[in-house]
Amino acid sequence: MIKLSDHFTYKRILRFTLPSVVMMVFTSIYGVVDGFFISNFVGKTAFSAVNFIMPFLMMLGTIGFMFGAGGSALISKTLGEGDNLKANKQLSLLVVTTAIIGVITTIVGIFIVRPVASLLGAEGELLDACELYGRIILFALPFFMLQLEFQSFFVTAEKPKLGLVCTILAGVTNMVLDALLVAVIPMGLVGAALATAISQVVGGLIPLVYFLMPNKSLLRIIKPSFDWRALLKTTTNGSSEFLNNIAMSLVGMLYNVQLLKYAGENGVAAYGVIMYVSFIFSSIFIGFSIGTAPIVGYHFGAKNSPELHSMLKKSAVIIAICSVLMTALAELLATPLSMLFVGYDAELLALTKRAFFVYSFCYLAMGFAMFASGFFTALSDGLTSAILSFMRTLVFQISMVFLLPLVMGIDGIWLSVVIAEALALALSVLFLVVKRKKFNY
């Protein structure tokens, strides 16, 4: 078994991070299956509605990302310092806090989902579909938050394979119920929403039960004690992930606003197809960052500078290779994937293929920016990580999505992510160079 205290070769890095990568990819794939069934069995309007309201729903779930990433950095550092009891208390406090916030957010979300969709420009049948889908999904939000949180905690507990198993179980649940409730029993959008909600309950409940029971991992849930310093450190460390996911959701909503303006409902549907593929590719980078974060946090806590340097260098090489392969693969799959989702509509198919071709170049830079943000989070430098996330999404992407269409029309919307990721890469390299002496990596 690979331990956090080990020296990590390329082979060990890949072996240790592979469960996290597969876990995130599988999570994305069952979202793609959702889209396939909705688009082909319910229709274009329902498909557009899901993609229109999903950024808002993901925004509400970002607490799980924040507490997972920030808590993982804090707990792994505590483990590196040799205090296992304190690490378990920190875990327990974060799980309880997440559950409470999840319930409150669900109640608020149910009341505001329709006004938000309307504010963003949805109307008529599209607005009704957004409200219906959103309200059903929101009932599972506390479990979704816990699912996101436990994905990081399984890695910190040196049990990434168990995290993968839980994700697979949740994903299979979603896929089977999608087929049953959408294709076999024609429940339409309600069936798709129920399939996703039930799968999120499965994904959050199984890890909760595991950590509540005696287990062979480094961590388990015990009686928590309130520690405002731990909560503050977690929110600070995880602020970049929180901000990044909030910003990604906000960018998604703004993209939809722009696409409604420049291409109508077809533009929203085309963007939805691209996002399904982008979720899979970006999830590889996210999974890699989740998998390496506890290693970086542990060796930072143990003051092992040579291992930090080694991790950064090897990670950069791995990400560079993956980036080139992903870009090439996205270009090759543009036509067949577009056909899979929207082959029934010639005009929408042509728009989607064109969008794929332009958008795919963003994968050349995306992984480096994501890893750099996660790297600083693992070093407990939440401020730097937050700045990188803020600039990458709220500044670079939003400014590009409003400026480029003025010059290039709808192609400017697809190109805006490419330019934004390139700028984020340059900024990430700058911060890594400036901070290298402070953290001795």
pTM exceeding 0.75 = no
Q: How many CB atoms lie within 10 A of CB 85?
A: 9
How far are the Cα atoms of 70, 89, 265 from residue 3, in angstroms, in the given order?
Answer: 20, 21, 50
In this prediction, residue 65 carries a pLDDT of 73
* pLDDT, the chain, mean: 86
Say how many CA atoms lie within 13 Å of 345 toward its Cβ.
19
**Residue position matching structure tokens 């542990």:** 298
Asked whether residue 202 carries a pLDDT value surpassing 80, the answer given is: yes
Pick from 121-130, 214-223, 273-282, 305-314: least confident: 273-282
In this prediction, residue 404 carries a pLDDT of 92
Alpha-carbon distance of 90 to 240, in angstroms, equals 20
Helices (H) and strands (E) in the chain, counts: 17, 0
> Angle at which helices 44-60 and 84-119 pack, to 10 degrees?
140
Alpha-carbon distance of 281 to 366, in angstroms, equals 10
In this prediction, residue 111 carries a pLDDT of 94
pLDDT band at residue 72 using 50, 70 and 90 as cut-offs: confident
In this prediction, residue 240 carries a pLDDT of 66
Domain boundaries, the chain: 10-439
Report, as an integer, the average pLDDT of 265-269: 78
**Residue position matching structure tokens 């929180």:** 242
Interior/surface letters 121-155, b for 16+ CB within 10 angstroms, e for the rest:
bbeeebbbbbbbbbbbbbbbbbbbbbbbbbbbbbb
Q: What is the pLDDT of residues 236-246, one digit of tens each?
A: 777 766 776 77
How far are the Cα atoms of 106, 233, 373, 382, 438 from residue 376, in angstroms, in the given order?
Answer: 31, 14, 5, 7, 12
Q: How many CB atoms lie within 10 A of CB 256?
A: 23
In this prediction, residue 241 carries a pLDDT of 67
Q: What is the pLDDT of residues 158-201, one digit of tens each?
A: 887 888 888 889 988 998 999 999 988 989 899 999 999 999 99
> Angle at which helices 44-60 and 188-212 pack, to 10 degrees?
30
Report, as an integer, the average pLDDT of 215-235: 84
3-state secondary structure 219-233: CCCCCCCCCHHHHHH
